[in-house]
């Protein structure tokens, strides 16, 4: 009997030891990712693709839970929560990021990029990576860029020249650079969170906004704004961000996995996004939106003082010079 009990005790101890040893190895890391766009939006699809890549490549050891549609807050709130460690990952546009780290503000500069090829060479190269890493002292870093297309004005009337914007209230993303640009063009910049824009357009609180063409369809802004003027003043990328507190607690191989999954999902997003832009333009026409060509030279001249303003921020001025020198 004693021998039997002893064998049972040894067996139980062995099982317990096995569980104890297996526990840490089997522990799963769950990361929360927040963004402000609707479920099913191309950005949401790309974030889910990122989560899938992380799950598959980590063999299920890392799970990313995506919270769309501002469930955890709008962009500024999400970034602040990420800084505090309450959220692990955030998808945001580079424009509001300029309020947290000045380097991101360079992307707000109008007519910074010559064309799409120039844009991708910058964001996929050394300069783009330097901007992603610049926010580490602010408790987050960028993992990858996601194309957001070129931004133009959509309004109640056509605005082919800056003079046509005079007196209009135009929604901008919160941030000093976009505000300065719109004010220079003769309009009144009105910062608003994305979720508030449709109602503000519909009610007349604002007279227009600036964004890529999908805003007309995916956000339904084409229901109330019937003119889209193609001046293509900026090409501001979206960015997938991670809290440094989250990144630093991951193993080096996990960090590398997360970074690569972000870059790979970004490439997939860029392909889907171009198709989405083409589709959106066709759908916007069906909504009754008229597309207008702009006098880009006049727009470019009107915002030239913004480049003179950069003398006050030598680091951003140097960054702009590096970007424009990329061949």
pLDDT tens per residue across span 113-134: 999 999 999 999 999 999 999 9
**Across residues 243-270, what is the average pLDDT?**
98
Buried b (16+ CB within 10 A) or exposed e, 116-148: eebbbbbbbeebbeebbebbeeebbbbbbbbbb
pLDDT at 5: 45
- For residue 23, pLDDT beyond 80: no
**Across residues 233-247, what is the average pLDDT?**
97
- For residue 12, pLDDT beyond 50: no
Mean pLDDT, all residues of the chain = 92
pLDDT at 173: 84
Place of tokens 């959220």: 87
**Across residues 275-299, what is the average pLDDT?**
96
Place of tokens 């992380």: 54
**Across residues 214-218, what is the average pLDDT?**
94
Crossing angle (nearest 10°) for helices 42-57 and 252-286: 160
pLDDT at 175: 75
Place of tokens 């490549």: 57
What's the CATH code, domain 153-233+298-325?
Answer: 3.40.190.170
- What is 29-149+236-279's CATH superfamily? Bacterial extracellular solute-binding protein, family 7 (3.40.190.170)
pLDDT at 244: 98
pLDDT at 176: 81
Q: What's CA 261's distance to the chain center, in Å?
A: 16
Q: Where in the chain is the domain with CATH 3.40.190.170?
A: 29-149+236-279, 153-233+298-325
Q: Are strands 290-293 and 227-234 parallel, antiparallel or unpaired?
A: parallel
**Across residues 219-242, what is the average pLDDT?**
97
| Residue pLDDT, tens place only, 40-97 | 989 999 999 999 999 999 999 999 999 999 999 999 999 999 999 999 999 999 988 9
Question: How far apart are alpha carbons 71 and 69 in whole angstroms?
Answer: 6
What does pTM read for this prediction? 0.84
pLDDT at 196: 95
Range with lowest mean pLDDT among 3-17, 227-241, 275-289? 3-17
Spatial contact of 292 and 224, defined as CB atoms under 8 Å apart: no
Strand partners, 67: 34
Range with lowest mean pLDDT among 16-20, 165-169, 264-268, 280-284? 16-20
Question: How far apart are alpha carbons 143 and 159 in whole angstroms?
Answer: 37
Question: How far apart are alpha carbons 228 and 156 in whole angstroms?
Answer: 9
Question: How far apart are alpha carbons 178 and 109 in whole angstroms?
Answer: 8
Question: How far apart are alpha carbons 192 and 215 in whole angstroms?
Answer: 15
**Across residues 139-157, what is the average pLDDT?**
97
| Residue pLDDT, tens place only, 152-192 | 999 999 999 999 999 999 999 887 888 999 999 999 999 99
Question: How far apart are alpha carbons 92 and 107 in whole angstroms?
Answer: 13
- 260 CB burial (10 A radius; 0-12, 13-18, 19+): middle
Provide the CB-side half-sphere exposure for 156 (13 A, CA). 15
Q: What DSSP designation does 194 have?
A: G
Question: How far apart are alpha carbons 85 and 212 in whole angstroms?
Answer: 31
Provide the token pair at 261: 């999954």
For residues 194 and 10, the model is more confident at 194
- For residue 3, pLDDT beyond 80: no
| Residues contacting 267, CB < 8 A, separation 6+ | none
Using DSSP, state whether 153 is helix, strand or coil.
Answer: strand
pLDDT at 114: 92
- For residue 4, pLDDT beyond 60: no
Q: What DSSP designation does 33 have?
A: E
For residues 194 and 255, the model is more confident at 255
pLDDT at 15: 38
């Amino acid at each position: 009997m004693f021998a039997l009990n002893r064998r049972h005790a040894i067996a139980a101890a062995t099982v317990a030891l096995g569980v104890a040893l297996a526990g840490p190895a089997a522990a799963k890391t769950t990361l929360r990712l927040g963004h402000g766009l609707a479920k099913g939006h191309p950005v949401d699809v790309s974030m889910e693709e990122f989560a899938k890549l992380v799950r598959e490549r980590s063999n299920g050891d890392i799970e990313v839970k995506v919270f769309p549609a501002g469930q955890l807050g709008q962009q500024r709130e999400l970034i602040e929560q990420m800084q505090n460690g309450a959220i692990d990952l955030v998808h945001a546009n580079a424009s509001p990021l300029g309020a947290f780290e000045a380097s991101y503000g360079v992307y707000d500069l109008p007519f910074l990029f010559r064309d799409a090829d120039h844009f991708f060479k910058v964001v996929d190269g050394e300069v783009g990576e330097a901007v992603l890493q610049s926010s580490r002292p602010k408790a987050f870093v960028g993992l990858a860029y996601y194309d957001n297309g070129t931004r133009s004005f959509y309004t109640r009337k056509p605005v082919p020249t800056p003079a046509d914007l005079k007196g209009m209230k135009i929604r901008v993303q919160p941030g000093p650079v976009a505000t300065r640009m719109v004010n220079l063009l003769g309009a009144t910049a009105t910062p608003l969170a994305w979720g508030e824009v449709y109602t503000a357009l519909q009610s007349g609180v604002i007279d227009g906004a600036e964004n890529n063409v999908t805003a007309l369809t995916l956000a339904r802004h084409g229901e109330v704004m019937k003119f889209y003027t193609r001046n293509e003043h900026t090409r501001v990328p979206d960015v997938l961000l991670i809290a440094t507190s989250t990144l630093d607690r991951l193993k080096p191989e996990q960090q590398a996995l997360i970074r690569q999954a972000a870059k790979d999902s970004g490439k997939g997003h860029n392909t889907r996004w171009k198709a989405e832009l083409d589709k959106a333009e066709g759908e916007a026409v069906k909504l009754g939106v008229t597309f207008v060509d702009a006098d880009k030279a006049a727009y470019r001249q009107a915002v030239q003082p913004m480049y003179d303003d950069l003398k006050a921020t030598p680091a951003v001025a140097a960054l702009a010079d590096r970007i424009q020198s990329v061949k």
